[in-house]
Amino acid sequence: MEYSESIINSGVTYDHQCPCCGEQKHHVKGVINYAYLMLESLPLFPTARSVKLECSNCLHITVSSDMNHELYRRLLTSSFNVFHFVIKFIGAFLLILSLFYWWQSHESEQAGVERIVEYPAVNDFMLLDHRQLVSDYRPSEKYRIARVVDITGDKVSLVMGNFFYAFTSSFRDAIATNQTAAFNYFGKKHYVFTLAELKQLRLNNGILKAARPVGNFLFGSFVINDTGYRVGSAYIPGEREYASGLAYEQAYYLEDNMFRAFEKMETSAKMGFSLGQIRLAEYYLAGDVVRTDFNQALNWLEKASLQSNEQAVRKYATVCKQTKNCYLAGFYDNLIASGVNLTVNYDYKIRK
């Protein structure tokens, strides 16, 4: 805390005689002492008030102790008004106001994180504390950005950014500067968490921030620059239709983009392309574009599973558990009989 004073010109008095030159006419100066933080022009609160007199002839200053007591009391009352003191609180007022806004935005940000952790959606971004996920880490490897790429039942799949950050503020910076939209920013590996595990991770301060894009935008930046899928040079039946479906999914500017995407995925699936089959199954599970149909979803997931697609096998198992008359053991037997190799990895575990 620092201190300063401001002077108010409060007129003239003839009731005092200058000890130096004998002049009666004096200018009355009201003095308010105040405390401030860093900015002298922004007073926090007043600390004292006093009055001094300045001789109009020789400019000699008379302080309160050298003044007639009665005169001093009278000038003290007449020199100031309420306004002079109110403006000395302006810094305190602004300080409280900005603290309030900071607190309010902090609270609403935290509430947003809770909502996303509880009801995640595909393309949600999260800032994870890497130290809560692994036991051995380098000091600079603190934070990592994750993106939700799939939700099936209560299983949430995340991909992890290939970069580590030292500060939580990098979350917004990396997204706002389009860093996270780069084709190879996120690793291909899927880390699968249950909703309960995500909640636990949040409780352990393992999820520090979370944000949901609106349309394709977050923090003023495009979230996805392209579909991230590259069509190879070799012809694979259904692949081009799949890539085209992905592009339609992101064509937010078209009114019926999701319906067209569905049509492309259906064609791709029927041509036997496993990624198209999985995506089509997801349409039947979500029920946004077509009516929810678990049996259709299972049917397409099984076709993709028979092509040794691990993601399809995992999804089939999750959906099957929620579907009546679905016999999971029979599904596995069928896969093994067809020569499908079963390895599903869950290697990121929460430390408790």
Give me the residues that bind Zn ion (CB under 5 A), please: 18, 20-21, 23, 55, 57-58, 60
**To the nearest whole angstrom, how small is the minimum distance from the Cβ of residue 54 to Zn ion?**
9
199 token code pair: 């909640």
**To the nearest whole angstrom, how small is the minimum distance from the Cβ of residue 55 to Zn ion?**
3
SS3 state at 36:
strand
101 token code pair: 């806004």
**To the nearest whole angstrom, how small is the minimum distance from the Cβ of residue 24 to Zn ion?**
9
Q: Which is nearer to Zn ion, 21 or 37 (CB)?
A: 21
Number of Cβ within 10 Å of residue 241's Cβ equals 20
Q: Which is nearer to Zn ion, 61 or 94 (CB)?
A: 61
Q: Which is nearer to Zn ion, 23 or 150 (CB)?
A: 23
* CA atoms lying within 13 Å on the CB side of residue 124: 24
**To the nearest whole angstrom, how small is the minimum distance from the Cβ of residue 19 to Zn ion?**
8
Q: Which is nearer to Zn ion, 60 or 172 (CB)?
A: 60
Nearest-angstrom CA–CA distance, 152 and 262 = 18
**To the nearest whole angstrom, how small is the minimum distance from the Cβ of residue 21 to Zn ion?**
3
CA pseudo-torsion sign 328, 158, 223, 220: positive
- Nearest CA to 148 out of 85, 56, 213 is that of 213
Strand 125-129 relative to strand 61-62, pairing: unpaired
Amino acid at 152: T
Nearest-angstrom CA–CA distance, 109 and 268 = 41
Q: Which is nearer to Zn ion, 7 or 21 (CB)?
A: 21
